[in-house]
Amino acid sequence: MNYKGYAGIAEIDTEEKMLYGKVIGLRDVIGFEGSNFEELEASFHRAVDGYLEVCEEEGKEPEKPYSGKILIRTDPELHREVVVAAAPHPRRCVS
C-alpha cells in the first residue's frame, strides 16, 4: 500500500478475522487496521494523515521515508521497494 509517499504492509489475523498493518520505513510507529481491504486502506490513509497533522501541530518535521540513502546512493523508489520487500510481517497494533 502506498499513500503520500508512505508505504504500509499488512497481515491477516484469521482468529480475529481482521487485517492489521503498519507504515514501514519510519522510526515512528504508525499502525492501522480493518475488517476488509477497503477499511484497511481507509485506516492507512487516516493514519498517515493523522501522523502528518500531529507533526504539523507540534512543529515537527515528519520523517521522510526512503530518502535514497543506504550505504550507497540509490533511487528513492528503489530504496522503498527494497525496504518493502525486506520488511518483517507486522504485529497486531494496540490502540
Going from the N-terminus, what domains does the chain have, and what CATH number goes with each? 2-86 (3.30.160)
pLDDT at 18 over 60: yes
User: With pLDDT > 70 as the criterion, what percentage of the chain qualifies?
Assistant: 86
pLDDT at 89 over 70: no
d(CA 11, CA 36): 11
Q: Please report the pLDDT score of residue 95 as a whole number.
A: 44
H/E run at residue 47: helix 37-58
Q: Please report the pLDDT score of residue 85 as a whole number.
A: 85
pLDDT tens sequence across 21-58: 999 988 889 999 999 999 999 999 999 999 999 999 99
